[in-house]
Amino acid sequence: MGFEMLSAATEALVIMLDPYRLFFLSAGAVLGLVLGILPGIGGLAGTAMLLPFTFSMDPYTAFAFLLGLGSTTATGDPIPAILFGVPGGAGSAATVLDGLPMAKRGEAGRALSAAYLSSMFGGLFGALIMAVSIPILRPLMLSFGSPEMLALAVFGLSTVAVLSGSAPLKGVTMACFGVMLAMIGSDPQTGTLRWTMDSLYLWEGMKLLPLVLGIFALPELAELAITRQAISGDMKYSAREGMWQGAKDCFKHWWLIVRCSWIGAVIGAIPGMSASIIDWLAYAHAVRTEPGARETFGKGDVRGVIASESSNNAKEGGALVPTVAFGIPGSASMAILLGAFLIHGLVPGPDMLTKNLKVTYSMVWSVALANVLGAGMCYLFSSQFAKLATLRYTLIMPSVLGIVYVGAFEGSRNWGDLYSLLAFGLIGWFMKYFRWPRPPFILGFVLGDILERYLFISIERYGIEWLIPSSWANTRIWVIALFAMAILSLLRPVIAQLKARNLSKLYGAPKLAWSDLFNVFVILCLSYMVWESMGWNFKARIVPNIVGSIAIFFATFALFHNIFTRNTEGAAAAGSADAIKQDVAGEIHMDLASDTDHVPTKLLIIRTVVFFGWMVGFMASMATIGLIPTVPLFTVLFMRFEGPERWSLVIPYAFFMTAFVYVMFDQMLTIPWPPTLMGGWFPGLKGVIPSM
């Protein structure tokens, strides 16, 4: 068997090195990089777009083309994440935490280089995992049922203890809040409509893309508009020095790359576990295991970039394992790839390990070669990418905001996506300013649906036997082990905090601050959700009631803790930046800190209102005349009023930006734009009032 696999792998490599197939592999890799750079678009849209072009290709060329795109999308994701704080995809959100601070210090080239090389190594590791693991993991994966999937999701959620950093109470609250939002929509058990507010858009649940872009992208862009500065004043390293330093960082931390790549490949191989959590799990692992990480992560530590990106790119090889071995897609893009199997007469399963073994190994080589090509192309243009961080905010904002809106619209291609983007942008801004950790919120949202689904499946199928076995023979070892690790993961930071503090000096006289208003807002939202759920069917309300009650308890405790500890922390004044931003000794705030301390409070409020006013204006114009006419109008008005930039720069900028949006999103991706009040920019669109 070993000789047969080696022979098939060698033959597959010879087949893939054919110039014709290399050309299509390279073309897919280029498209993947472009889609990765564009926030919110991702490889799913590109894979769906390319699938019809593979009908006339042979299987080797077709999979090279499709996997070339899918494998390099994650390589392009960190570019906007590092330069602008805008995740290129949901899987690169953790990269923002250390990548953007590095760019602000003038180390954009170093961060980009570390991201490219760790992505490449992660992708190669994922390909290697696929090559050797399919025959080995097949029996293990067949033994995984819904209880094991539930336990794995619980273990993933337990990482909020690390991702909460210096605010564990707030972190658990936001994780539970994220779980609650994930349950919006039609309950799969009973059909009960949960918190849909009579909106058809919410029937199918809240969409991840607008939520991630709102929570992470808009607050960074708002801060850029408030401070009115370039992301970085100057470049600490020259382009060549930055590239070389980032490469040295990767070789220095090779063991971190291996560990995080393993996490990405393994989690990616588990169907139903979203790729959006992989980077957070790897980031939490790095915080726990890397020396000195708790003092430097979140402040521009290159190891945070390496951990996130190596795991993010390794997931593609892992996701191929269940797709090829069982016909069960490991991700959304793999579901589209299954269509290519059917088109070319291939049946996932045992045949892919026997009769079609060469095709299987051609996929392995496609993933490996695409990662090398993608990293090489990124290095080629990195010096130019790094310079973007030094541009004035008036040159960055129009293009990035326009693409963010298009990316958010890809959530479900509904006006509700844009309303969600704006709403979560406001929430994300307050969370960042008042130091509520955002990573637990995203993690809770991604895992919430998985937790509830597998909980009910486990109960319906096994009763309580899976949790409390009647005999040793019925014991599910993986479930017990994962639940035990989850409990340990949650309790260890709490116990460590209690040991480190003198409880008798913990609380003092009460003192209020403006930041408490956001805490009250969270409590009111959670209370309303729990109250409304009381009238639902028991199966529909049991999980929301439990999670909501836990969230209210921790949110109330967090409010009490903040009010009664301010005098003991030595803050200068209630509501001051010091009171808001002071961390517990020896712990870090596991999120980006606000850089608006130097802006007077009144001016900060005015500029915040102006920024979100631009957002509302963009949407109003889009609702009236359509997105494409809005792009040049918004670009001209923003650059002239905010700059003011000279007309000789504004006009070409607006022209090329509009041309790019039209060619890329209308002609290539053929996005169906939302209906408008005036009938829209394109023929055939009826004029309707945009609604959710």
- Which tens digit of pLDDT belongs to each residue from 146-189? 787 788 778 777 766 666 666 777 888 888 899 899 899 888 77
CB count within 10 Å of CB 191 equals 9
Query: 139-143, 178-182, 490-494: which has the highest mean pLDDT?
Result: 178-182
- What is the reported pLDDT for 140? 61
Report residue 610 as tokens: 């102006």
- What is the reported pLDDT for 686? 40
Coil, helix or strand for 194?
strand
Which has more confidence, 577 or 293? 293
CB count within 10 Å of CB 501 equals 12
689 φ, ψ (degrees, to nearest 5) = -75, 125
Tell which residue, 267, 274, 272, has the closest CA to residue 317.
267
pLDDT at 514 over 70: yes
- What is the reported pLDDT for 295? 78
- What is the reported pLDDT for 525? 93
CB count within 10 Å of CB 531 equals 10
pLDDT at 587 over 60: no
Query: 52-61, 113-122, 154-163, 593-602: which has the highest mean pLDDT?
Result: 113-122
What is the arithmetic mean of pLDDT over 476-487? 81
Is 148 within 8 Å of 478 (Cβ atoms)? yes
What Cα–Cα distance (Å) separates residue 559 from each residue in 164, 518, 556? 16, 10, 5
pLDDT at 19 over 80: yes
pLDDT at 107 over 90: no
- What is the reported pLDDT for 573? 37
- What is the reported pLDDT for 651? 93
Q: Label residue 633 exposed, middle or buried (CB < 10 Å: 0-12, 13-18, 19+).
A: middle
Query: 208-217, 324-333, 496-505, 538-547: which has the highest mean pLDDT?
Result: 538-547
pLDDT at 418 over 50: yes
What is the arithmetic mean of pLDDT over 223-230? 78
Is 140 within 8 Å of 277 (Cβ atoms)? no
End-to-end alpha carbon distance in the chain: 56
What is the arithmetic mean of pLDDT over 581-598? 55
Tell which residue, 102, 110, 106, 82, has the closest CA to residue 94.
82
Tell which residue, 85, 138, 51, 621, has the closest CA to residue 340.
51
Close Cβ partners of 355 (under 8 Å, ≥ 6 residues apart): none
Q: How far apart are CA 621 and CA 636, in angstroms?
A: 13
Report residue 296 as tokens: 């430097």
- What is the reported pLDDT for 129? 75
Is 175 within 8 Å of 381 (Cβ atoms)? no
H or E element: which one contains 618? helix 601-625
pLDDT at 138 over 70: no
**Which of the residue ranges 179-193, 526-540, 547-561, 590-604 would you say has the lowest mean pLDDT?**
590-604
Half-sphere exposure of 25 (CA within 13 A, CB side): 28
Which has more confidence, 346 or 276? 346
pLDDT in tens, 21-50: 888 888 888 877 777 776 655 555 567 666
- What is the reported pLDDT for 444? 84
Query: What confidence category does residue 507 fall into, taking pLDDT thresholds of 50, 70 and 90?
Result: low
Query: 100-114, 213-227, 517-531, 658-672: which has the highest mean pLDDT?
Result: 517-531
Residue 506 DSSP one-character state: T
Close Cβ partners of 100 (under 8 Å, ≥ 6 residues apart): 81, 82, 83, 84, 85, 220, 231, 592
- What is the reported pLDDT for 582? 39
What is the arithmetic mean of pLDDT over 414-423? 88
Query: 231-235, 328-332, 474-478: which has the highest mean pLDDT?
Result: 474-478
Is 336 within 8 Å of 628 (Cβ atoms)? no
pLDDT at 526 over 90: yes
**Which of the residue ranges 458-472, 532-546, 571-585 would you say has the lowest mean pLDDT?**
571-585
Q: How far apart are CA 684 and CA 245, in angstroms?
A: 54
Long-range CB contacts (within 8 A, 24+) of 60-63: 60/12, 60/15, 60/16, 60/21, 60/359, 60/362, 61/20, 61/21, 61/24, 62/340, 62/343, 62/344, 63/337, 63/340, 63/359, 63/362, 63/363, 63/366
Report residue 206 as tokens: 């809240």
- What is the reported pLDDT for 652? 92
What is the arithmetic mean of pLDDT over 337-351? 73
* Mean pLDDT, the chain, integer: 77
Report residue 564 as tokens: 């009664």
Q: Label residue 505 exposed, middle or buried (CB < 10 Å: 0-12, 13-18, 19+).
A: exposed
